[in-house]
């Protein structure tokens, strides 16, 4: 007696497509662009945070899940950032959420909302940048200006550290560091200071994994996204190759 075979699910059919894709060269057409873009971000962010490494294969896997070579978006917006209704692109380029710290300086002014929606190489960089912005931890901290000159200021009646810092273009933290004994100010007292300001800085990174990519990058609410990303990574990565990470 014949046994009825249960119909294949949409996810199983999707995995069949990925198995076929690993043998199809057109699915690898963005490898060089991805590698270049990831290298740009790695060089920029290791200097900004001191410890950073992003494996380009994770971005390749995201492209395969987000669009894939059989999707018309593959030739225009392979990361699918900037599609209709997606808030990610303006969020990244607004300068209000930390994207300005993530984007390599060579792309400042070049990567725009219009270019990311029409030039695939720009779309890839915008997608990577938005993902990393969402994975970054930010805080506001006192940051010294590039001019390291130490100046002096004389305390006047009614002065406070906050008032002096504001008037001299410095911060209370810098004043306290340079004048550890200046807890009680007296007129005529001479304080040292350096130029500084309160700025947003990157202080670390969330753990980067298929589940965190699904939470922080994928805005479509695909319940299979994590499984899809894990499946693609397993398909394109040799068992001997290392894990991707943001450290």
The pLDDT tens digits of the residues spanning 166-196 come to: 999 999 999 999 999 888 899 999 999 999 9
- The 10s digit of each residue's pLDDT in 203-218 is 999 999 999 999 998 8
- Residue 145's contacts (CB-CB under 8 Å, 6 or more residues apart) are 194, 195, 196, 197
Instruction: Note whether 229 and 62 are within 8 A (CB).
Output: yes
* Chain centre to alpha carbon of residue 227: 23
List the one residue out of 58, 57, 64, 78 whose CA is nearest residue 14. 64
Residue range 51-77, pLDDT digits in tens? 789 999 999 999 999 999 999 999 999
H-type helices in the chain, by residue range? 10-21, 31-49, 56-66, 88-93, 99-102, 113-116, 120-135, 161-168, 172-178, 210-216, 225-236
């Amino acid at each position: 007696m014949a046994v009825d075979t249960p119909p294949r699910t949409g996810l199983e059919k999707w995995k069949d497509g990925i198995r076929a894709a690993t043998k199809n060269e057109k699915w690898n057409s963005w490898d060089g662009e991805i590698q270049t873009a990831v290298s740009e971000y790695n060089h920029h962010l290791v200097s900004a945070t001191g410890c950073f490494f992003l494996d380009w294969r994770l971005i390749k896997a995201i492209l395969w899940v987000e669009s894939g070579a059989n999707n018309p978006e593959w030739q225009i917006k392979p990361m699918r950032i900037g599609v209709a209704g997606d808030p990610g692109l303006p969020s990244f380029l607004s300068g209000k959420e930390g994207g300005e710290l993530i984007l390599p300086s060579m792309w400042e002014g070049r990567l725009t909302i219009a270019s990311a929606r029409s030039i695939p190489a720009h779309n890839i960089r915008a997608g990577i940048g938005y993902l990393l912005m969402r994975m970054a931890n930010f805080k506001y901290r006192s940051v010294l200006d590039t001019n390291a000159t130490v100046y002096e200021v004389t305390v006047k009646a009614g002065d406070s550290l906050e008032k002096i810092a504001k008037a001299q273009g410095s911060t209370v933290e810098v004043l306290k560091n340079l004048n550890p004994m200046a807890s009680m100010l007296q007129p005529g007292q001479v304080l040292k200071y350096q130029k500084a300001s309160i700025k947003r800085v990157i202080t670390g990174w969330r753990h980067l994994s298929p589940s965190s990519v699904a939470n922080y990058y994928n805005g479509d609410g695909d319940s299979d996204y994590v499984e899809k990303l894990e499946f693609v990574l397993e398909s394109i990565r040799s068992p001997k190759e290392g894990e991707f990470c943001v450290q």
